[in-house]
């Protein structure tokens, strides 16, 4: 068991089957300890498994959920990256299933569960690829653009509830997904393009 940092709302990391992270913060009890992985891997594209993630987090922390950070995401694993014309329907469905449907299901569950009037937070991750319009990223960029639109609409729908909804669009992030299938030359190019 890990001690919870002194905060008003600790976070619980849940792994989905794509080894990405989704955080649900469920407790304001400082004496509570966070178990190392109280949730089994889950598919965020499956509504039953998303509900189970929330159920388990609430049971572990004996509290309603306060925060959702949904960063589950996958890209097309094929190398070289396919154009839209060469993207298979199966790859498109997988990308939209995890990235967009998963975000929708997590947002829907959070919108129905987060504490009203108590400063609930929903945070979704998009990608800087949406603004770059880089060739050979069509399905991924479109799935993340849908998340940005959903964020704006959900924020309006939750107006007056004291639940905020925001979206963050980071650039390249060092994850297994980033390195998979990339050459040293491509990694170097991405690093050089980074403004930081």
List beta partners, residue 114. none
Query: How many Cα atoms occupy the beta-carbon half-sphere of 155 within 13 Å?
Result: 12
Assess whether 155 carries a catalytic annotation. Answer: no
Six-digit token string for 93: 């469905």
Catalytic residue among 18, 61, 104, 140: 140
Rounded to an integer, what distance in angstroms lies between the CA atom of residue 96 and that of residue 60? 30
**Positive/negative CA dihedral, 184, 189, 194, 196:** positive
Name the DSSP letter for residue 159. T
- Strand 67-70's sheet: what is its strand order? 12-15, 21-25, 67-70, 121-125, 164-168
Reading the block at residue 22, the tokens are: 């989704």
**Cβ atoms of residues 72 and 22 within 8 Å:** yes
Let me know the angle formed at the C-alpha of 154 by 128 and 140, rounded to the nearest 5 degrees. Answer: 30
What span, in angstroms and rounded, lies between the C-alpha atoms of 9 and 25? Answer: 6
Which DSSP helix (H) or strand (E) runs through 58?
helix 47-61
Residues tagged active-site: 140
């Amino acid at each position: 068991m890990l001690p919870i940092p002194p905060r008003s709302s600790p976070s619980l990391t849940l792994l989905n089957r794509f080894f990405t992270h989704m955080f649900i913060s469920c407790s304001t009890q400082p004496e509570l300890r966070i178990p190392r992985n109280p949730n089994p891997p889950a598919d965020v594209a499956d509504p039953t498994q998303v509900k189970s993630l929330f159920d388990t987090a609430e049971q572990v922390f004996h509290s309603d959920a306060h925060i959702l950070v949904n960063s589950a995401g996958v890209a097309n694993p094929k190398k070289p990256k396919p154009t839209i014309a060469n993207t298979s329907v199966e790859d498109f469905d997988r990308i939209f299933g995890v990235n967009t449907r998963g975000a929708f299901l997590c947002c829907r569950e959070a919108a129905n569960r987060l504490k009203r009037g108590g400063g609930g937070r929903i945070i979704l991750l998009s990608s800087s690829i949406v603004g770059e319009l880089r060739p050979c990223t069509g399905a991924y960029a479109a799935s993340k653009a849908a998340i940005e639109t959903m964020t704006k609409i959900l924020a309006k729908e939750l107006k007056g509830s004291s639940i905020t909804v925001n979206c963050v669009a980071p650039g390249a992030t060092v994850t297994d997904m980033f390195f998979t299938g990339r050459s040293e030359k491509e990694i170097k190019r991405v690093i050089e393009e980074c403004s930081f």
